[in-house]
Structure 1
Amino acid sequence: MFTRIGRFVVRRPWLVVVAWLIAAVALTALSPKLESTTDQTEFLPSHYESVQVSDLEKRAFPGQEDQPAAIAVFQRADGGAFTDADKADIQKVATGLQAKHYAHLTKIQADPAAVSPDGKIGLAQIYADNKDLSDTTVTENVKQLRVDVKELLSGTSLKIGTTGPAASALDAQESGDNTDAMIMMATLLLIVVLLGIIFRSPLIALMPVVLITLVYLTANGLIATAAKVFGLDADPSSSTMLIVVLFGVGTDYLLFLLFRYREFLRAGMEPRPAMAEAVARVGETIASAAGAVVVAFLALTLSTMGMLRSMGPSLAISVAVSAIAGVTLVPAVFALLGRGAFWPSKAWKREPKNALAQRIGAMTARRPGLVAIVSGGLLVALALGALGFKADFDMGGSQPKNLESVQAMDDLQKGFSAGKAQPTQVFLENTGGGKLAQDQLAAFRDKIAGVAGVAQVSPAQPSADGTVAQYSVSLAYNPMEDKALDLVDGALRDQAHAAAPDGTRALVGGTTAVLADIRTAVERDYSVVFPVAGLAIMIILGLLLRSVVAPWFLMISVGLGFAGTLGATVWLFQGVKGANGVLFSLPVLVYLFVVAIGTDYNILMVARLREEIRDGNDPREAIKHAVARSAPTMGAAAVILAGTFGVLMLADNSMLQQMGFAVAFGILLTAFVMALFLVPATTTLLGRRAWWPGLKEQAPNPAGEEPVLVGSGRTSG
């Protein structure tokens, strides 16, 4: 099939390029806008209690305008206790802000009693008319409020910071926009520089950036269309990952093709036949590698965690588009450029010595047992760190410390209970439809207040018909730390359910409850997504290699790579940097990126091994040739791909830093330990049994087809 694709592309390159341009322009212009949400309750199934709370709140309190959106945190500039004049100034500032009549901020209220016990922190509550506090209509009002308050503070001894959901969403949006731009520029610069060093050609250095940008536009349009047609939610964090995946994977596939194309040019072939032969030889490897990544990402649709469930199809579409471009758009463009693509360098004409790669190949062939023990032992040693893995659900804690919302939250927690800014919501509902009695409401409140770790419980707020009552519960802990999650998912929910009078039900919701349910969902996902993705990748490896043996030892090696990557990440961030934990979804992301994308290098290596053996080499000789000839391609691709993910470490967001390190380190570990040493060594030890039952001698070309490579000798090596 790929022989036919290669011939078609090099014979009609302009047709292929124009078709891609039309597709990119049309999809960019006509696809719907991709809407995103930060409401995590929309990312959980309906059977989770926090989602049921959200539904109950909408039903019992319809049209409720006053949504707590943000908190203004007041302090004296000198850090001292408030004077009576300061307290009067707080009231004046709140009144002045209220007089601004913001479109979506309905009320700005300073309660004289909302002063910390030490008298150093004062609060003003800011309410909005939109339940989605991350909506730009609300965050833009908060942004303007931050500007307006500076004038109102003039002449006072006060300083102010805004925090809470809407303020945090504003800071996250602005920080995220800056991060996306920084990551895009750093990724492009990295790719251009590394490709320039490898090929010494400005055209090859710049052309992939242009081509992958075209693929990015096409993929974005397809993702938006698919989201509209199939009703998929989008997570804002997907945009950063989409940039990195497209540029990283797209460059990988381009390198797979260009290295083989250069081999055939060195053998004396003309550019177009050389490119057609490169597509014929590498097309199956690209398709198999992309297939492994796509099915791994699609396995995320089995997740109960909406952030992952929405990310999966988006990334799968982007990788599929990259693979199609790798065997159509890229060869079409380079068929048009011909040998001029390598200008001004002449280095492409010379066969590289690859001395180090040849020594590695020879050593692996000579002492496979020792190589397998050392490389496998290194992976096992790193994997021990994974035993200390601790999940961190504090998304706010990952934000840069210089953001106003983060600093204001720290100030607030110095004077009040840590959970005051984002209280837990407890609802009591009469399931029979009658009104709740006052003595029931008071007794229920007392029992909740008696739970250890609960700092304060507000009086009941009844619904209009009296069938539902809402309590605002402030916890003694940070709403996103483990203690708070354990409390809400344990003692608080247990007590609330047990204390509900006959004929009523109690539900516990709010930010902490959502995170507790997400923790449960992620733990469930580990037991479902991992095996499904692993099985799918094994099937693809089996189909590619026509073997039932090779996929097993390949997946075992990949599993060691996953555990080693997670262990190294835990040691660095929890051990060296002293973090409370690492990103709760990191194991899923590392598994999918390292197992799926990292499998590209295993596929590249074993496909070349199979080719060498089918050409008549014995297993040990095949190892020498395969390692020597695959190592440069694999090394260049791994360094670029790891570099694109490593760019995430430049972000101020600590969770992006963790993700960037883990995936970059995992890719390097996969390429330079697993694929370069462990897999070839294991294959050598197994010999021809590794390929059972599918290894056969090289099949002749199908009848009636002229061979693409004629009279050039053995150049596939």
Structure 2
Amino acid sequence: MIRALTGFSTRNPWKVIALWAVVGIFLTLLSQALIYRVTQSQSGDFLPAKYDSAAALKVAEERFDVKPDANAVTVLVARTDGKPLTGADERRISAVAKQLGGKRVEMPEPKDDAPTFLAEDYSQTPRVSPAMVAPDRGFQLLTAQLTGNSTDPGMQDLYRAFRDDAKEEFAEAGMRTGFTGGLADLVDTGEKQETTEKIVGAVMMGLIVLINVLVFRSVLAAFVPLLAVVIVGGAAAGAVVGAAMLTGIKLDTSTPSMISVVLIGIGIDYFLFLLFRFREQLRAHPDLPARAVAGDVSARVGTAITSAALTIVAAFATLAVASFGQFRVLGPSIAVAVLVMLLASLTLMPALLAVTGRKMFWPSRALKREPRAGLAARVGDLVARRPLALVLASVALLGALTAGLAGIRMDFDTSGGNQDTPAAATAKEVSRALPAGVSDPTTVYVAAPEGQRLTTERIAALPRALAKVEGVGQVGRTELNPERDAARFDLYLTVETQSQAARDLVSGPVRDAVAQHAPAGLKAHVGGTAAIFADVSTAVDKDLKIVFPVAAVLISLILLMLLRSLLAPAMLMLAVGLGFAATLGASTLFFQHMLDKPGVNFVLPLVLFLFVVALGTDYNILISDRIREEMDRPGPARAAVARAVRHTAPAIATAGVVLAASFGSLAVNAMPSTQQIGFATALGIMLSAFVLSIVLVPALAALLGRSTWWPIRPGRGERGAQHAAPHAGESYAETSYAGQPYPGQPYPGQSYAGQSYAEQPYPGQPRASEPYPGQPRAHPPYYDDLNAR
């Protein structure tokens, strides 16, 4: 199947390239227009119905007509001279609030020339109502409700229009205003970070191009992979959006950015794997047509790429068994995107190699000479000479980083974390006069069975009991719905609602009091941010216990099928397990202990496990596949490991830096959770590439020798003889391949593009009278020493 796809693509390269260009551009435009229709920003909507906060959301939607994507904006109104509000001021504020609540806010025209026929129109009349006056009468709070996806730029433009209109109306009344709440904070943070994110994105792209230029000394090799990955990334995003629309599922707002980063990273990686092997084979066979070499290289490397991609797919697909919906949609979405990238790796990338040929590496002259033994060769020699010392050093480093896991805590704060935005400044001003939870209250919902009616007197004991709970600063008035079969009232906590203290308070004393004092026959539920994240914490803990072992088993099975060994997969899984623990430990040391954060973000362990184990396994698969290929040839096992490291380490190192840079760009994001994921994943990729794949795994293979592949031992018996490289003076026609065509090429004696292969060596091997690439021409004492071992 792999050889059929790569063979078709290298025989019909222009057709394949044209098809990908058309499909990629179309799906890119489609995904950009529709992405916000399939995403939702409320974490509570991802919770299963069995959780108390999810039940509270259901009551709010069904009995109080609260929209799932409602955004509460708290508006602070105060006198411009700083004096306390008078009765006349309050009347003017109420009049302006009524005016704002009766005026329709229209969607502004888009700032660019993008088509708007697919964009959602968020034009609406906001609900504006008075909330409370500060005890010192320094300000009055209003609550405005705007409905829509808070991450959609159109919705954010609508909020700006409302904000500017409110500022203008209150300014005419001699008042100043401030705005806070989730939507206000998101918009202010985005405006503050917009320039930084653009600069970082440009720097990341520039870094990828620069790395490729330095490695390949070529213009095409620098830009072609990036251009191809951008097109494929757009196609993958379109496929995910299309699947979400067809199935009716909602994606988390972080999913698009995660998909983009993952695809840029692994797409560049896979292209680099192909480019390094393509260049190696072009050097070895300058007389062979580049298209023939491209077909062979794509088929050979395609096997490793397929296994690596399926490892990622299997790892992320396990998230489908999670109970927390944010994980349940993230995993399959990334799995679908990676499958699209895999298809491109087996079709588009081989086609591009076939079309560009040797021009891919222009103007470099590296194809005309065998490269000198560089750092990769020296590392390979060191691994072969001192494997035990390197194993012990690697394990000691990873173990030291793992020690950082001591005392790890989870942080559920999803705020922007910026203390110098207008929204943050307004929140601080409110908290100085009122309980910290005023702008984000915890809400208690009471629902009566069908046919029953409620009165405020019937449930009066419940708010009185909650007012006595330590940590509840104030209880709002009770509100009945129009049908009078449900009631709700707000609790204003004295602690920040996104803090651990708030979650402990809501999940403990508050819910205990609700259970004890709720009227008989009625159902009471606690909702709000603190309640939602208390339940999310419980759901995540359960999911981690399921997803980790399931993902590990699936990855192990894929490694078993690829490597056809029992010992090698166990060795790789042990290595990536150490890498995961070390990365999480280092992240805990950095964020929790050095930066004094409340803890690591609650999604970090799971996302980090999947990314580091799945993506890190890519590099381990590549080096292991090459080690096995080299061990298939006659000769000492340690020499085979040295050759494998020499040829593969540059590709792994370059790919690791590119992927780490891709994830590292997330570290400048305004959201603390995204910052942590970016930093930790970049660190994990670097450890996977430079410690695990280039040092630890090859060193273990050097120690174990061909026993690494037990119960099959490569290089021994018929299989090793068949796949051994021809020695100097031995041509393709004289080997065990005599009489058989090189895959995709004519039989000996037939011509291809005017060239005869009768006297040509087997592609990928040296021509007669030349040593095997990577081997010394006259065996020095080093290899004699290895033979002696």
**Residue-by-residue CA offset, 1:466-513 (whole Å, 9 max, x unaligned):** 332212111111111101111111111121012122222211112221
- In structure 2, relative to structure 1, the CA distance for the partners of 1:8 and 1:349 (3 Å cut) is same
Highest CA radius of gyration, 1 or 2? 2
Deviation at residue 248 of structure 1 after TM alignment? 0.9
CA contact (8 A) 1:261 1:274 kept: yes
1:366–1:167 distance in 2 versus 1, CA, 3 Å: same
Note closer, same or farther for the CA distance 1:406–1:351 as it changes in structure 2 (3 Å cut).
Answer: farther
Query: Counterpart in 2 of 1:148?
Result: 165
Residue type of the alignment partner of 2:545: S
1:573 aligns with 2:596: no
747, 752, 762: which one aligns with 1:710: 762
Change (3 A) 1:405 1:201: same
CA contact (8 A) 2:313 2:339 kept: yes
Partner in structure 1 of residue 259 of structure 2: 242
Percent of aligned positions with the same letter in both sequences?
A: 37
* Conserved 8 A contact 2:475-2:491: yes
Alignment match, 2:752: none
Q: CA deviation at 1:189?
A: 1.9
Matched with 2:280 is 263
The aligned counterpart of 2:59 is: 56
Question: One-letter code of the match for 1:330?
Answer: M
Aligned residue type for 2:178: G
SS of corresponding position for 1:72? strand
2:406 is paired with a residue whose SS is helix
Q: How many angstroms apart in 2 are the aligned matches of 1:595 and 1:63?
A: 41
Distance, in Å, in 1 between the alignment partners of 2:182 and 2:255 is: 21
Structure 2 counterpart of 1:197: 214
Deviation of 1:591 after TM superposition, in Å, equals 0.7
Inter-partner Cα distance in structure 2 for 1:82 and 1:131: 33
**Aligned match of 1:226 in 243, 252, 260?**
243
Q: Distance in 2 between matches of 1:135 and 1:241?
A: 17
- In the other structure, the counterpart of 1:254 is 271
| Rounded Cα–Cα distance in structure 1 between residues aligned with 2:205 and 2:83 | 50
Name structure 2 gaps, 5 residues minimum: 106-122, 724-735, 744-760, 767-771, 776-789
Which residue of structure 1 lines up, in the alignment, with residue 143 of structure 2? 125
CA contact (8 A) 2:189 2:418 kept: no
3-state secondary structure, aligned to 1:598 = helix
Distance 2:96 2:60 in 1: 32
Pairwise CA distance, 1:328? 1.5
For residue 706 of structure 1, what is the amino acid of its counterpart? Answer: P
- C-alpha separation in 2, matches of 1:8 and 1:107: 60
Partner of 2:387: 368
Which residue of 272, 282, 290 maps to 2:291?
A: 272
Higher alpha-carbon deviation: 198-207 or 612-621? 612-621
- Cα deviation, 1:82-138, whole Å, max 9, x if unaligned, reads 577866765565466457554634443446xx333344443222245x487777776
Q: Deviations over 1:369-389 (max 9, x none)?
A: 211111001001001112232
Supply the distance in 1 between the matched residues of 2:329 and 2:774 (Cα, whole angstroms).
41
Aligned equivalents of 2:672, 2:504: Cα separation in 1: 23
SS of 2:489's equivalent in the other structure is strand
Q: What is the aligned partner in structure 2 of residue 19 from structure 1?
A: 19
Q: Give 1:688 deviation, angstroms.
A: 2.4
- Pair 1:679–1:649, CA change in 2 (3 A): same
- Check 1:68–1:355 CA distance in 2 against 1; reply closer, same or farther (3 A cut): closer
How many angstroms does 1:692 deviate by?
1.1
**Mapped partners of 1:174, 1:37: distance in 2:** 21
- Report the alpha carbon displacement of residue 53 of structure 1 after superposing the two structures with TM: 1.3
**Is residue 68–residue 125 contact of structure 1 (8 Å, CA) maintained in 2?**
no
Q: Given the alignment, which residue of 308, 312, 317 partners 1:289?
A: 308
* Aligned residue number for residue 359 of structure 1: 378
Provide the residue aligned with 2:528 in structure 1. Answer: 510
Aligned mates of 1:516, 1:64 — CA distance in 2: 22
Indicate yes or no: 2:345 matched with 1:310: no
Residue identity matched to 2:414: M
**2:501 corresponding residue in structure 1:** 483
Question: Do the aligned partners of 1:49 and 1:508 also contact (CA within 8 Å) in 2?
Answer: yes
Whole-angstrom CA distance in 1 between matches of 2:168 and 2:341: 52
Q: Is the 8 A contact 1:134 1:165 kept in 2?
A: no
2 CA distance for matches of 1:133 and 1:357? 49
The correspondence for 2:600, drawn from 582, 586, 600, is 582
Q: Alignment partner of 1:469: what SS?
A: strand
Match of 2:638 among 607, 614, 620: 620
Report whether the alignment pairs 1:665 with 2:683: yes
- Alpha-carbon displacement from aligned partner over 1:590-638 (angstroms, at most 9, x marks no partner): 1111111111111111111111111123222222111122111111110
Q: Secondary structure at 2:228's aligned position in 1?
A: helix
Pairwise CA distance, 1:406: 2.6
Q: Could you report, residue by residue, the CA deviation over 1:195-252 in whole angstroms, capped at 9, with x for unpaired residues?
A: 1111111111111122112202211221122112222211221222122111111000
Q: Tell me by how many angstroms 1:425 deviates.
A: 1.4
- Pairing partner for 1:546 from 564, 588, 602: 564
Query: Quick one: which amino acid aligns to residue 741 of structure 2?
Result: E
Could you give the per-residue CA deviations for residues 273-312 of structure 1, whole angstroms, max 9, x where no partner exists?
Answer: 2212211321111111111111111112122222222221
Q: Is 1:603–2:655 an aligned residue pair?
A: no
- Find the aligned partners of 1:43 and 1:88 in 2 and give their Cα distance: 41
Query: Is 1:33 the counterpart of 2:6 in the alignment?
Result: no
The Cα offsets for residues 621-677 of structure 1, whole Å up to 9 and x where unpaired, read as 222111122111111110111111111223333332211110111100111111112
Q: Secondary structure at the match of 1:33?
A: helix
What is the CA–CA distance in structure 2 between the aligned matches of 1:583 and 1:301, rounded to whole Å?
Answer: 21
Measured at CA, do residues 175 and 220 of structure 1 come closer, stay the same or move farther in structure 2, by a change above 3 Å? farther
1:76 deviation in Å?
5.8
Q: Which moved more, 1:703-712 or 1:665-674?
A: 703-712
The CA distance in 2 between the partners of 1:354 and 1:122, in whole Å, is 74
| Alignment partner of 1:44 is 2:96 | no
Residue 300 of structure 1 pairs with residue 319 of structure 2 = yes
SS at structure 2 position matched to 1:507:
strand
Residue pair 2:643, 2:774 contacting (<8 A) in 1 also: no
Partner amino acid, structure 2, of 1:33: L
Q: Are residues 288 and 78 of structure 1, via their aligned partners in 2, closer, same or farther at CA, if it must alter by over 3 Å? A: farther
Instruction: Kindly indicate whether the alpha-carbon contact (under 8 Å) linking 1:201 and 1:342 is maintained by their aligned counterparts in 2.
Output: yes
Contact 1:184 1:243 in 2 (8 A): no
CA offset digits 1:403-448 (Å, max 9, x no partner): 3323322222222111111111112223364223554311122112
User: Residues of 2 paired with 1:148 and 1:469: CA distance?
Assistant: 33
Check conservation: 1:545, 1:694, Cα contact below 8 A.
no
Structure 1 residues 451, 312: closer, same or farther in 2, change over 3 A?
A: same
Alignment RMSD, CA only? 2.9
- Per-residue CA deviations over 1:533-585 (Å, capped at 9, x if unaligned) read 11111111111110111111211111111111111111112222222222210
The structure 1 residue matched to 2:223, chosen from 194, 206, 213, is 206
Whole-angstrom distance in 1 between the partners of 2:45 and 2:460: 32
Contact 1:293–1:597, Cα closer than 8 Å, also in 2 = yes
Residues in 2 aligned to 1:148 and 1:260: alpha-carbon distance in whole angstroms: 61
Name the CA distance, whole Å, in 2 between partners of 1:183 and 1:36: 25
For 1:263, the aligned partner's letter is: E
Corresponding residue of 1:104: 124
**In 1, distance between residues paired with 2:186 and 2:9?**
47
1:391 matched to 2:410? The reply is: yes
Question: Does structure 1 residue 498 correspond to structure 2 residue 533?
Answer: no
CA change 1:147–1:640 in 2 (3 A) is same
Higher relative CO (Cα under 8 Å, sequence separation at least 6) belongs to 1
**C-alpha separation in 2, matches of 1:368 and 1:65:** 58
Displacement, 1:169? 4.8
Compare 665-674 and 92-101 and name the one that shifted more: 92-101
Structure 2 residue matching 1:440: 3-state secondary structure? coil
Which one has a larger percent helix, Structure 1 or Structure 2?
1
Worse overlay, 570-579 or 529-538: 570-579
How far apart in 2 are the matches of 1:716 and 1:347?
15
Provide the rounded CA distance (Å) in 2 between the counterparts of 1:437 and 1:653. Answer: 43
**Structure-2 change in CA distance of 1:14 and 1:653 (3 Å):** same
